[in-house]
């Protein structure tokens, strides 16, 4: 297949350029000159040429947001690539086991109880993990020939159960104060990401990426039938649990800070697979770069196109859904 051996560095450079451009985009004008001066100032000592207001905008407003977009996009795409391989299904996204739904319930509950933003995030994180743990526990109790199918079905059921609880909370919430906050959170946004969030989310995501990276070649074997993988000498059950824990932790961490941003984890791994093939050692970095770049681009649009913020989930769906349909219509079966 063409393009299998595409090098990854051009993609990396593209993302870096996008990052640089992102600092200049926004309501407050920042010139290229300011940007360069600030960068060199940080590296080689303070520069006298830039006003402190510009520095504040760059380092305290835009930097956390840019880093947040990279982290959320990269982590969602990496988790999506892992889940799609693990479940041998290219139509799977990171929320297949109910992590987003669980996190959504946690966040909505946090808002309902008028917790602090940090409290809402913590609750989202814990509920996301709890939902997946519940799904896994149910699947482990059901005897079946196809453990993967049972897991996915349990995920669908728990997801819709949790969805009902979210709706219930929305109905009994204060419609003027709490409901808009809930709706906004459920649609995803990076508007409130600050350095403190990143200090928690970044280590969690890095730590979860480590097993995905170290076991990247073995991931390919999970795509085979379970029995085939085991006959090749691989303990597929343990490997699958490790991957599920890693991908779930990572998704929970970024959903807790960015809300429910759909489509990234589904569409980005497809594009990555078209570019570099399904071999996970190449698919993982390609997915992360594409996911980080894509979400940064979308977030730039979300914060600059109108004077008020557009929720990220709306934009990713508006872009992701037609793109996916185009893939289908163009006969480029996204999974082949």
Partner 1 sequence: MRLATHNLAFGYAHKTVGHDVSLTVESGQIVCVLGANGSGKSTLFKTLLGLLKPRGGDITLDDESVLAWPRRRLAQTMAYVPQAHADYFPFTVLDTVLMGRAARVNLFAVPSQRDREAALTALHTLRIAELKDEPYARISGGQRQLVLIARALAQEAKILVMDEPTSSLDFGNRVRLLEYVRLLACEGLGIIFSTHDPDQALACADIVALLHQGRLLRCGQPQEVITRENLRLIYGVNVDMLGAPYSAHRVCIL
Following DSSP, what letter does each residue of 205-263 receive, concatenated?
Answer: HHHHHHHHHHTHHHHHHHTS-HHHHHHTT--HHHHHHHHHHHHHHHHHHHHHHH----S
Among residues 25, 36, 59, 88, the one that binds partner 1 under rule CB under 8 A:
88
* Shortest distance (Å) from residue 298 CB to partner 1: 27
- The answer to whether residue 311 forms part of the interface with partner 1 (CB under 8 A) is no
Those residues whose C-beta lies under 8 Å from the C-beta of residue 329, and which sit 6 or more positions away, are none
Which C-beta is closer to partner 1: that of 42 or that of 225? 225
Q: Which of residues 275-304 bind partner 1 (CB under 8 A)?
A: 277-279, 281
HSE-CB of 259 using CA atoms within 13 angstroms = 23
Which C-beta is closer to partner 1: that of 30 or that of 272? 272
Nearest CA-CA partner of 117 in 275, 212, 242, 258: 258
Which C-beta is closer to partner 1: that of 195 or that of 214? 214
Segment contacting partner 1 (CB under 8 A): 20-28, 99-107, 122-130, 220-228? 220-228
- The answer to whether residue 214 forms part of the interface with partner 1 (CB under 8 A) is yes
184 conformational bin, left if phi > 0, alpha if psi -120 to 50, beta if neither: alpha
Neighbours of 109 (CB within 10 A): 18
Q: How many Å apart are CA 66 and CA 14, to the nearest integer?
A: 15
* Shortest distance (Å) from residue 300 CB to partner 1: 32
Q: How many Å apart are CA 144 and CA 156, to the nearest integer?
A: 17
Among residues 17, 232, 305, 328, the one that binds partner 1 under rule CB under 8 A:
232
Total residues in contact with partner 1, by rule CB under 8 A: 33
- The answer to whether residue 221 forms part of the interface with partner 1 (CB under 8 A) is yes
Among residues 118, 230, 321, 327, the one that binds partner 1 under rule CB under 8 A:
230
Q: Which of residues 4-63 bind partner 1 (CB under 8 A)?
A: 4
* Shortest distance (Å) from residue 278 CB to partner 1: 4
* Shortest distance (Å) from residue 139 CB to partner 1: 17
* Shortest distance (Å) from residue 74 CB to partner 1: 21
Among residues 235, 322, 326, 328, the one that binds partner 1 under rule CB under 8 A:
235
Distances (CA, A) of 158 to 132, 135, 185, 237: 9, 7, 20, 22
Q: Are 72 and 227 in contact (CB under 8 A)?
A: no
Segment contacting partner 1 (CB under 8 A): 173-181, 231-239, 254-262, 324-332? 231-239
Q: How many Å apart are CA 5 and CA 276, to the nearest integer?
A: 6
- The answer to whether residue 225 forms part of the interface with partner 1 (CB under 8 A) is yes
Q: How many Å apart are CA 259 and CA 165, to the nearest integer?
A: 17
Among residues 107, 273, 303, 310, the one that binds partner 1 under rule CB under 8 A:
273
CA–centroid distance for 158 within its chain: 20
Q: Per-residue contact track with partner 1, 118 to 157, x per CB under 8 A?
A: -------------------------x--------------
Neighbours of 191 (CB within 10 A): 16
Among residues 228, 241, 305, 325, the one that binds partner 1 under rule CB under 8 A:
228
Rounded to a whole number of angstroms, the CA Rg of the chain reads: 21
Which C-beta is closer to partner 1: that of 141 or that of 143? 143
Provide the binding-site residues for partner 1, judged by CB under 8 A: 1, 4, 85, 88-90, 143, 214-218, 220-221, 223-225, 227-235, 273, 277-279, 281, 335-336
């Amino acid at each position: 297949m063409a393009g299998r051996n595409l090098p990854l560095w051009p993609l990396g450079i593209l993302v870096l350029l996008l990052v640089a451009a992102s600092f200049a985009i926004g309501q407050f004008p920042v010139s290229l000159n300011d940007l360069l001066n600030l960068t060199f100032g940080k590296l080689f000592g303070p520069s006298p040429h830039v006003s402190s207001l510009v520095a504040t905008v760059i380092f305290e407003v835009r930097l956390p947001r840019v880093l947040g977009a990279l982290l959320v996009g990269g982590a969602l795409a990496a988790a999506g690539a892992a889940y799609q391989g693990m479940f041998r299904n290219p139509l799977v996204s990171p929320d297949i086991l109910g992590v987003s739904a669980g996190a959504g319930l946690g966040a909505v509950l946090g808002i309902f109880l008028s917790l602090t933003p940090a409290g809402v995030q913590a609750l989202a994180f814990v509920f996301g993990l709890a939902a997946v743990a519940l799904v896994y526990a149910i699947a482990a109790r059901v005897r079946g020939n196809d453990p993967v199918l049972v897991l996915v079905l349990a995920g669908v059921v728990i997801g819709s159960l949790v969805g009902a609880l979210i709706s219930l909370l929305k109905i009994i919430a204060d419609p003027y104060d709490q409901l808009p906050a809930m709706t906004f959170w459920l649609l995803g946004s990076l508007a409130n990401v600050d350095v403190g969030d990143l200090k928690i989310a970044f280590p969690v995501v890095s730590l979860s990426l480590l097993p995905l990276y170290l076991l990247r070649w073995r991931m390919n074997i999970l795509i085979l039938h379970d029995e085939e993988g085991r006959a090749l000498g691989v303990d597929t059950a343990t490997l699958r649990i490790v991957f599920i824990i890693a991908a779930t932790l990572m998704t929970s961490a970024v959903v807790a800070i960015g809300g429910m941003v759909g489509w990234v984890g589904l569409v980005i791994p497809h594009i990555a697979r078209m570019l570099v093939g399904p071999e996970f050692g190449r698919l993982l970095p390609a997915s992360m770069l594409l996911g980080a770049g894509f979400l940064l681009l979308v977030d730039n649009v979300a914060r600059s196109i109108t004077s008020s913020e557009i929720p990220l989930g709306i934009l990713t769906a508006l872009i992701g859904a037609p793109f996916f349909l185009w893939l289908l219509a163009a006969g480029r079966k996204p999974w082949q």
